[in-house]
Amino acid sequence: MTTAAVIGGAGQVLTEDEVTAFIGDALAGAGLAGRSVCVIVPDATRSCPLPLLLKAVTQALKGSQVTILVALGTHAEMTAEQLRKHLGDDYPNVLNHEWWNPETFAGLGTISSARVGEISAEMLRDEVPVRLNRAVVEHDVALVVGPVFPHEVVGFSGGNKYFFPGVAGQEVIDLSHWLGALITSANIIGTPGITPVRALIDEAAAMIPAEKLALSVVAQSGTDALHAIAFGDTTESWRAAAEISAQTHVRYLDRPVRRVVSVMPAKYADIWTAAKGFYKVEPIVADGGEVILYAPHVTELAAMHPEIARIGYHCRDYFLGQWEQFRDLHWGVLAHSTHLRGAGTWDPATGEHLRVQVTLATGIAEDVVRGANLGYLDPATIDLTAYEADPDTFVVPNAGETLYRLKE
């Protein structure tokens, strides 16, 4: 049983009045009066009625010193205009997480190599320094406000993940993402409970001196509606929301499909983020099948990580089999590469063998796509109506947040 306070549930839709009242009551009873609060929120790549949530939060925290920190991870910085639209108002004290700026961070300590080995079942044994955005450290309370969805690295997003990798230094980002890649996206995505990656994140979060609270929400994907909100510490509120997300954001098919067309919404501006259209459907694709990411608005592979064009997209074993060549690159980039390419094998004699073909139907030039070891389709040739009529094709609108699995 969770100790979090919860409103709503799977199959329910909360009204704005219910949301506002719940948040007001929850924060009023949290002992926050006179304390400084750092409110950590997602960027625009997550479905979430953030303007509604922030309005309720800031009303409840009147009289407190409040800073709003956008958890970019390693995504692109949001402009002032984008922030205004995303947050719903011109709030004072709004910060992007400047992950590229060393002065952003405060050091919290180190997770030993022995502890990393214990957490990861010896898949990794590396000491990792823990750095976090100093805005979190400099406030009395860190309040996470954001959604929970099935996630390719950690199992379910949310909770302490808003700290690591949301507003973290590169070291924990790289280690946690590579651990997820070693487990593989298909084996960890949508896994309930404390996965090894979640355990690593929780270990780092335990070093944060601020009190850690969360309003963990379960959003109706692609809309501004909410199914549920859980309030409590960042562990228990996440646990409660993840249980509801597992009932809400996971759908099951009777049999594998030969082809999936994932129609990517505009909130995914590059393949670094639009790759979620592959992660969420990989489990339902038959061996030798294909996933087409249909995103005509996308014009680059990774705005903030151009090295992916040079590395290309490959399965996990491609990197492990040639580890001396790749080990000094950012492990988070290697992890992204494996997550989009999916399951496969590699050996020095016969090369790489991939379970599923990944094809981009985007605004990215054909030579760039093929050079990154992906298939290419001209998006102008895509006829979604024809694909929907094809019994071998499964078209996923608004792809990227709902996980598809096969019935056992």
CB 356 within 8 A of CB 335: no
CB 47 within 8 A of CB 222: yes
Average confidence (pLDDT) over 276-298 = 98
- What is the pLDDT, as a whole number, of residue 408? 81
DSSP per-residue string spanning 128-185: EEEEEEHHHHTSSEEEEEEE--EETTTEE--GGGGTTTTTB-HHHHHHHHHHHHHH-H
| Domain range list for the chain | 5-248, 251-406
What proportion of the chain, given as a percentage, has pLDDT over 70? 100
Contacts of 169 (CB under 8 A, 6+ apart): 99, 105, 129, 130, 131, 132
Average confidence (pLDDT) over 51-59 = 97
Predicted confidence (pLDDT) at residue 2 exceeds the cutoff of 70: no
Average confidence (pLDDT) over 34-52 = 91
Predicted confidence (pLDDT) at residue 358 exceeds the cutoff of 70: yes
Predicted confidence (pLDDT) at residue 138 exceeds the cutoff of 90: yes
- What is the pLDDT, as a whole number, of residue 177? 96
- The model's confidence at residue 298, banded by pLDDT at 50, 70 and 90, is very high
Within 249-363, residue ranges assigned H as helices are 271-274, 276-279, 308-311, 316-320, 323-326, 331-341
pLDDT tens, residue by residue, 305-342:
999 999 999 999 999 999 999 999 999 999 999 999 99
Distance CA 148, CA 40 (A): 14
- What is the pLDDT, as a whole number, of residue 133? 97
Mean pLDDT over the full length of the chain: 95
pLDDT tens, residue by residue, 224-242:
899 999 999 999 999 999 9
- What is the pLDDT, as a whole number, of residue 45? 78
pLDDT tens, residue by residue, 180-208:
999 999 999 999 899 999 999 999 999 99
- What is the pLDDT, as a whole number, of residue 173? 94
- What is the pLDDT, as a whole number, of residue 1? 54
2.160.10.10, 3.90.226.30, 3.50.50.60, 1.10.8.80: CATH of 251-406:
3.90.226.30
**What are the tokens at 245?**
């997300």
Contacts of 274 (CB under 8 A, 6+ apart): 264, 268, 293, 295, 298, 362, 400
Per CATH, 5-248 and 251-406 having the same topology is answered: no
The β-bridge partners of 69 are: 40, 95
Lowest-confidence region among 42-51, 96-105, 330-339, 393-402:
42-51
Topology at the third CATH level for domain 5-248:
Rossmann fold (3.40.50)
